[in-house]
Amino acid sequence: MKLFSSVNDVKDVKALVAEALQLKQNPYAHQHLGKNKTLSLIFLNPSLRTRISTQKAGANLGMNVIVLNIDKEGWALELRDNMIMNGTTVEHIREAASVMGEYSDIIGVRSFPGLKDREEDYSETIFNKFVEFCKVPVVSLESATRHPLQSLADLVTIEELKTKPRPKVVLSWAPHIKALPQAVPNSFAEWMCKANVDFTIAHPAGYELSADFTNGANITHDQDEAIKDADFIYVKNWSAYEPYGAVIGGNEDWMLNNTRLDAVAPNAKVMHCLPVRRDLELSSEILDSPKSIVVHEAGNRVWAAQAVLKQMLEAL
């Protein structure tokens, strides 16, 4: 694998999930692969899980890992072309990415969307510039429109914990006070549509995701109907795709609580990519109950990242 930016970069999704679960059993069996190889993780935005799990995944494979919070610790980066750099930016992404490619065998990049200009965000200009200029394999650590390492870990978690061959999985929109990206739900939908699951997306009117990511999913505005007898409920907020980045008020009752879960989906396991705002997106009574598998899910981020990095090292 030379690029991991979406599920479309994966030849065999089932095999990658199986590989992640094997690595979980035997994390240090492939340390020779990463010997004298450098993984650079470049963050333009904050991170807890992605940063630590990917760092650990690289170390498990014997790699040297460098983390750069370029938004705070690097020179102020110019991302636009055809600019006279007489403002506050000090270094252009063209030189910065090229130089980081000189020091690295694999690069990971996190770059969130601006949520102002849909065309710009959905053309993935920043992520694609890294890919173009660094000239080494690149892993997305969440780009403007997708979070594939998260979705792979989510699928690994579902495979690991499912109690029937084709579980019912529901992506359920949750309230928030801020405009959040569509990257996590886009990506989750895209991966679930390629997995052996019965997949439904539930959101209030106005939160339709781009059809490019949801082809094959059942989509409804009726949350109770959607989550009925679900095996896995994936809770996540996102802002509107149209008008882009909008937050539509009045949907606070989309936050799940135990009473509603017990009534319609008593056996559901509840997932969230984290970070989660308690009692705004998801009730603390669910998060503190055995129904919640969010910490287990976050733990699986290591094995997802390790499976991807292993396939990249094998192709170097």
Count of positions on this chain that bind ligand AN0 (CB under 6 A)? 7
- The residue from 100, 156, 184, 197 that contacts ligand AN0 (CB under 6 A) is 184
Question: 43 vs 173, which CB is nearer to ligand CP?
Answer: 43
69 contacts ligand CP (rule: CB under 6 A): no
| CA angle 249–250–255, rounded 5-degree value | 110
Check binding of 157 to ligand CP (CB under 6 A).
no
Nearest to 228 by CA among 260, 181, 251: 260
For the CB of residue 142, give the shortest distance to ligand AN0 in the complex, in Å.
6
Binding of ligand AN0 by 275 (CB under 6 A) = yes
Task: Tell me the C-alpha distance between 85 and 92, whole Å.
Answer: 9
Choose between 104 and 143: whose C-beta lies nearer to ligand CP: 143
Please give the DSSP secondary-structure letter assigned to residue 208. Answer: P
3-state DSSP: the chain helix, strand, coil percent, rounded to 5?
Answer: 40, 15, 45
Q: How far is the CB of 39 from ligand CP (least distance, A)?
A: 16
If the CB atoms of residues 107 and 144 are measured against ligand AN0, the closer one turns out to be 144
In the complex, minimum distance from the CB of residue 99 to ligand AN0, in angstroms, rounded to a whole number: 27
Question: What residues contact residue 33 under an 8 Å CB cut-off, 6+ apart?
Answer: 61, 62, 310, 313, 314
* Torsion region of 82: left, alpha or beta (phi above 0 gives left; psi -120 to 50 gives alpha): left
Is residue 108 near ligand AN0 by the rule CB under 6 A?
Answer: no
Q: CB-wise, 136 or 233, nearer to ligand AN0?
A: 233
Interface with ligand AN0 by CB under 6 A: which residues? 142, 180-181, 183-184, 273, 275
